[in-house]
C-alpha cells in the first residue's frame, strides 16, 4: 500500500463550480420574489448549485446521516457526565431508533450509518457493518499518551476516506455528519486550541450532557496537558491526530477531505465535526467550500473553529447532544433552499427589461 500523503489533497480538491454559482446568482435576479427576501436561503441555493454543478439546483433526494463512533481514554478523568467506555450504549440507542438523532432521521426520512472506529466493547455485540472499519478498542488517554500509533492513525484516516468513497459511489447527494463518542469533545477542544493558538479555557465547553464546574476544571486541565503534547507536532496533521485526536476524529477528517475530493457536500454538526474540519482546512485550504455549518451548539471550541474557517452556522439551537442531531435540524432548510431556487418562477421578460420607475406597459 502506498504511503498516505496528505499534501495530495491540496491538488485533488477543487472549489465548487464558480461559474455555476454565478449562473445561479443571475437566475436568482430574474425570479419573481425580490432579491434578499429569502435571506440565507438564496445563499444556500447558490452554494448547492456550485456544489452540484447544476442550474437550476437539483433537489436533495438521497441525504445520509453518517456517524463516526469511538471511546476516548481521556474520559477516565471524569471530563464527561457519560461513563467511560459508554459510547457503545449510545450507538445501540441510535441503531434501535431511540436516540434524538434517530428520531429526527426517521421523521426526515434520512438513512443512518454508524461507523465504529474505536468503541470500547466487544465487536461481536454490534452489527458487522458497524464494526468493519474498527481500528482499535478505545483511543489512548491523550494527556499522558498518544491516542493512536502512527499505523493506527493511517488506518483510521484511510477508513474515513473509504466511507466517503462508498457514500459517493452509492449515490448519496448530501452528508449530514456527526459523532457518537465519550470524551470526543475533549479531544476536539485540544485540536481547536492547538490549531488556533489559544488557551484551553477558551475552547473547553461542557459537553453533550453539560458537566458541573468541578468537572469543567478537570476537563480544562486535561485539555491543557494534551495541548502541551500537541504543539510540537502541529506541522504534521496526521501525527497531530494520532497524538491527540483518536480514531474516530482521524477517520472523520479523512472522510471530510475525501468528500471534498468527490464533490460531495457535507453538513457539519457540533464541535467534534468542526474540529475535524479545522484539521482538514489545514491540509487543504479549499476543502471548507464543500462544508456547511448547521448550527451553533454553544460549545466555544465549535465557535472558534467555525470562525477560523469563515463558516457561519445556519441555526442557533444550543443542541449539544451530538449524533448529528443539530445538523439534521438544518437539513429541511437546505432542502427548502433547493426547492425555492429550482421551482420559483422567473419574472416575465417585459418586467425584467423595464427601467426603474417605468411600468411594464411603458417599455
CATH (domain of 269): 3.40.50.10210
Residue 132 confidence (pLDDT) above 70 = yes
52, 68: one domain? no
Identify whether 358 is part of a domain: no
41, 179: one domain? no
CATH (domain of 15): 1.10.1610
Tally of CB atoms within 10 A around 131: 20
Identify whether 102 is part of a domain: yes
Identify whether 2 is part of a domain: no
Residue 153 confidence (pLDDT) above 60 = yes
Reported confidence tier of residue 353, pLDDT bands at 50, 70, 90: low
Is 29 annotated as catalytic? no
Cell of residue 184, nine digits: 470526543
- Active-site position among 152, 323, 343, 346: 323
Identify whether 129 is part of a domain: yes
Cell of residue 180, nine digits: 457518537
pLDDT at position 207: 77
Answer positive or negative: Cα dihedral of 243, 245, 250, 256: negative
Q: Provide DSSP, 209-221.
A: TT--HHHHHHHHH
Q: Which residue has the higher pLDDT, 168 or 35?
A: 168
- For 314, the 3-state DSSP assignment is coil
pLDDT at position 215: 92
40, 88: one domain? no
207, 286: one domain? yes
Residue 8 zone, left/alpha/beta (φ > 0; ψ -120 to 50; rest)? alpha
pLDDT at position 3: 77
158, 291: one domain? yes
27, 117: one domain? no
How far apart CA 267 and CA 265 sit, in angstroms, is 7
Average of per-residue pLDDT across 80-85: 89
Identify whether 361 is part of a domain: no
Q: Which residue has the higher pLDDT, 231 or 81?
A: 231
Residue 362 confidence (pLDDT) above 60 = no
Cell of residue 139, nine digits: 483511543
Cell of residue 321, nine digits: 447532544
222, 311: one domain? yes
53, 140: one domain? no
Q: What are phi and psi of 348, to 5 degrees?
A: -60, 150
pLDDT tens, position by position, 195-233: 999 999 999 998 777 889 999 999 999 999 999 999 999
46-60, 93-107, 150-164, 340-354: which range is least confident on average?
340-354
34, 124: one domain? no
Residue 1 confidence (pLDDT) above 70 = no
Cell of residue 233, nine digits: 507536532
Instruction: Please state, for a pLDDT cut of 90, what percent of the chain lies above it.
Output: 88
Identify whether 363 is part of a domain: no
Average of per-residue pLDDT across 96-110: 97
CB-CB contact of 188 with 80 (8 Å): no
Cell of residue 350, nine digits: 417585459
> Which of 218, 63, 80, 233 lies closest to 148, judged by CA?
233
Residue 17 confidence (pLDDT) above 90 = yes
Reported confidence tier of residue 273, pLDDT bands at 50, 70, 90: very high
Identify whether 319 is part of a domain: yes
Average of per-residue pLDDT across 109-117: 98
Q: What is the pTM of this model?
A: 0.94
Instruction: Please state, for a pLDDT cut of 70, what percent of the chain lies above it.
Output: 96
pLDDT at position 209: 74
pLDDT tens, position by position, 159-196: 999 999 999 999 999 999 999 999 999 999 999 999 99
pLDDT at position 312: 96
Q: What's the mean pLDDT when you consider all of the chain?
A: 93
Count, residues in the chain: 363
Average of per-residue pLDDT across 28-36: 90
Number of domains in the chain: 2
Residue 89 confidence (pLDDT) above 80 = yes
Identify whether 39 is part of a domain: yes
214, 238: one domain? yes
Domain range enclosing 77: 63-332
- For 103, the 3-state DSSP assignment is helix
Average of per-residue pLDDT across 55-67: 96
Cell of residue 32, nine digits: 419573481
pLDDT at position 351: 65
Residue 363 confidence (pLDDT) above 60 = no
206, 310: one domain? yes
Give the distance between the most distant pair of CA atoms in the chain.
78
Q: CA-CA distances (angstroms) from residue 315 to 210, 320, 327, 343?
A: 20, 13, 9, 24
Residue 26 confidence (pLDDT) above 90 = yes
45, 139: one domain? no
DSSP 8-class letter at 58: P
pLDDT tens, position by position, 295-352: 999 999 999 999 999 999 999 988 888 899 999 999 999 999 999 999 999 888 766 5
- The β-bridge partners of 174 are 63
Q: Where are the extended beta strands (E) located within the chain?
A: 63-71, 112-118, 174-182, 266-268, 291-293, 295-296, 315-316
Amino acid at each position: 500500500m502506498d504511503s498516505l500523503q496528505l499534501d495530495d489533497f491540496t491538488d485533488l480538491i477543487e472549489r465548487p463550480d464558480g461559474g455555476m454559482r454565478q449562473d445561479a446568482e443571475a437566475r436568482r435576479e430574474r425570479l419573481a420574489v425580490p432579491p434578499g427576501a429569502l435571506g440565507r436561503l438564496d445563499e444556500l441555493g447558490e452554494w448547492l448549485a456550485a456544489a452540484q454543478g447544476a442550474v437550476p439546483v437539483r433537489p436533495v433526494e438521497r441525504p445520509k446521516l453518517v456517524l463516526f463512533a469511538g471511546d476516548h481514554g481521556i474520559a477516565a478523568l471524569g471530563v464527561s457526565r457519560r461513563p467511560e467506555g459508554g459510547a457503545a450504549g449510545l450507538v445501540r440507542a441510535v441503531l434501535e431508533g431511540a436516540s434524538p438523532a434517530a428520531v429526527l432521521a426517521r421523521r426526515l426520512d434520512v438513512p443512518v450509518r454508524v461507523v465504529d472506529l474505536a468503541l470500547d466493547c466487544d465487536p461481536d455485540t454490534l452489527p458487522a457493518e458497524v464494526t468493519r472499519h474498527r481500528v482499535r478498542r478505545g483511543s489512548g488517554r491523550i494527556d499522558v499518551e498518544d491516542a493512536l500509533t502512527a499505523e493506527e492513525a493511517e488506518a483510521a484516516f484511510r477508513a474515513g476516506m473509504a466511507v466517503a468513497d462508498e457514500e459517493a459511489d452509492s449515490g448519496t447527494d448530501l452528508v449530514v455528519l456527526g459523532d457518537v463518542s465519550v470524551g470526543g469533545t475533549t479531544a476536539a477542544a485540544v485540536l481547536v486550541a492547538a490549531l488556533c493558538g489559544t488557551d484551553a479555557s477558551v475552547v473547553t465547553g461542557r459537553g453533550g450532557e453539560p458537566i458541573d464546574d468541578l468537572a469543567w476544571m478537570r476537563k480544562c486541565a486535561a485539555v491543557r496537558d494534551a495541548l502541551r503534547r500537541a504543539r510540537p507536532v502541529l506541522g504534521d496533521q496526521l501525527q497531530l491526530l494520532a497524538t491527540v485526536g483518536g480514531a474516530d476524529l482521524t477517520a472523520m477528517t479523512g472522510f471530510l477531505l475525501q468528500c471534498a475530493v468527490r464533490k460531495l457536500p457535507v453538513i457539519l454538526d457540533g464541535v467534534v465535526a468542526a474540529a475535524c474540519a479545522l484539521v482538514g482546512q489545514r491540509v487543504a485550504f479549499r476543502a471548507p467550500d464543500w462544508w456547511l455549518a448547521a448550527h451553533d451548539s454553544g460549545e466555544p471550541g465549535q465557535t472558534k473553529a467555525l470562525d477560523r474557517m469563515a463558516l457561519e452556522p445556519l441555526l442557533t439551537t444550543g443542541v449539544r447532544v451530538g449524533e448529528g442531531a443539530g445538523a439534521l435540524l438544518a437539513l429541511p432548510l437546505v432542502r427548502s433552499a433547493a426547492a425555492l431556487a429550482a421551482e420559483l418562477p422567473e419574472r416575465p421578460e417585459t418586467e425584467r427589461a423595464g427601467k426603474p420607475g417605468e411600468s411594464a406597459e411603458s417599455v
